[in-house]
Structure 1
Amino acid sequence: MNTDMAPARPALRDVGALLRHAEEQARLAAAMPVLVRQRIAPDGAMVLREDDLSLTGGFVDSIARHLIAALCPHDRPVDPAQIAQHVVLADSAATRLLFARAIEARLCRNAPLVGLAMAELPPRVEDQVADAQDELAETAMALIIAQSRFVGNAQGFAIELAELPPETLSALVQRMLGWLQDQPGTDPLVLRASADALLANFDERRGRPHRLMRFCHLFALPRAGDDWSLAQSGPSLVFAMLARVSHLPSEHLIDMVRDPDLARLAVVVRGCGIAVDTATLLLQGIALLASHAVDTLPTASALAAIAQDDAARIVAGWRNLLPFDAPGPVW
């Protein structure tokens, strides 16, 4: 159920209004980690989708339990709620990423609305699974497995540590060490050894985000307008392609789905040089997945009025404001 109480806006037909609205939404989005943390805590006032918040809460609890299993002595029980509050939710990058993963899981769950029967098996990826000796085929198979795990885990309100970039995991581990060391009877040497083992065994290349970008790299995506078909590629791969072209982290792009009129995404797709007709269809498909009204989206004429250079300049400005530890696309 969509509980976003923002009033519906008419379709943005004036390019100046569209760009101003995109910038306004970018400023508001900067506060999202704090707002999500407050709502899950809960002591916030902003109304967000309850299903996104609920799934984010499950993801936060799941990450907390992973950290406890890796770092805490088995004979000293630790309350996951304490780790969720003082470690995971205390980290803005982790909060924002887990909220974006919750939105992504919802988009995948709604994949049939754009003609994709199973989000785990987008035809563009499945078609590459032929020769197990071929690197692209192996990458496609690994991506299908990783995507299936992500969608399946999300149904159980769980998520893997591999969904986190190494920078975010390292920051969470450091926070966890600081919190645990304040507890009585904790041995700093044992804590440090457990943390070093967790980080040493973490391989970013085995995670789904890396597999998405690796598939884009090997398959040279995006190459043509058809590559942006949600029915062929699925939402996760489409957002990986957008991340690869725009150089914005995928979680920032997925966060833009919250905008009822998708104004920020409209600027991104134009800045990426996507043709107007393709961009129009892509935004309409994303709106369907996100349960937004299509008639609030920027019109094709409004998209056409956005010069690619102007859009690219705005996107570059957003990229320049990213935190220093924000991960970029990797493959």
Structure 2
Amino acid sequence: MSKNKDMLGEEQSGPLMADVAKLAGVAISTVSRALANPGRVNEKTRAKIDAAAKQLGYTPNAMARGLRVGKSNIIMIVLPGSLYYGASQIVPQVLQAINKSLLQSGYTLMIANLARDEASERHILNLAFGGTVRGTIILASKLPELEGRSLANAGLPIVSMLLDMSASGVPSVVTNDREAVREATARLIGLGHRRFFYLAGPEGNYHDVERFGGVLEAIREAGLPETAVVRSGGKLDYQQGFEIGLQAADDFAALAEKPTAVIATSDDMAISFMSRMREMGFAIPEDLSIVSFDGSPVCAFCSPPLSTIKQPAEEMGTAAVDMLLEAIEKTESPSAMRRVIPSRLIVRESMAVRGRFD
């Protein structure tokens, strides 16, 4: 298929910006403005342009636009959803580390979204395809896709953080969820525990799959059956961790044979679970031991102090920036597609020898 250039110098192997303008009944400059800076075009006009572009299958060449207007120093970060202000502060901690590293390298961080609804997905994609940003870091979520467009096709360097997408060709920075939870479970087994209660995140979520996998591996290695662990939860998002913990406490109380150790996949779950357990008359760690995941500072001030697996938020944020800048500046040979930065188990008073239920 032959290639043409539209009036802005973009090589196209399909429909041109002029075709979109004609179908939408607007000027070519309006189409260009709507794609590059959607906020400058009223919603009705933008909707007509979006519909025309979708109907024609038009995709702007973001890389060509970047060369034309100069290289942007803006790095876009895509959040999994709204910022959460519970005990588990991994996302704000990561944002702080990323921002610090970018500033040191002369780049500016732009938060693209505080939700992942349709309007937010469209805004993220407009920024990416409009040439506004130089690269993207996406946190703990899949790439935005909407109306035939995907962030993967925007011509921008992308790094995934807290979600391993290396198998799909996206460089990724993650922690060792599975190994860290396996180590914590093995520590509990070493303390004599043989029955476990697992507080789950959303079923099928990358982190839940990896962390529960670590529990199962430790149990198998100890010669215990998989029935040694009882799952609670699986339907609510990690941002509803406090609610997950409260529901899990009710599930625990209903069990005829009580586990002696609890493994929670976030600090929020563990904190609310532990609080409800005390209200029900259970003693920690005398009746049951508890360990969680994230490493929130507040865990040290719980009663009793909560054992937790601390995620290396600052190190992961710095590594994600380094990986992205390698791709942008191409000053070094590409590093590995997947970088794993280990988490660390912090043992506190919430873990002890098996309790009275044995």
TM-score between the two structures when normalised by the length of structure 2:
0.26
Q: Which has the higher strand share?
A: 2
Which one has the largest radius of gyration?
A: 2
Q: Which has the higher helix share?
A: 1
TM-score between the two structures when normalised by the length of structure 1:
0.27
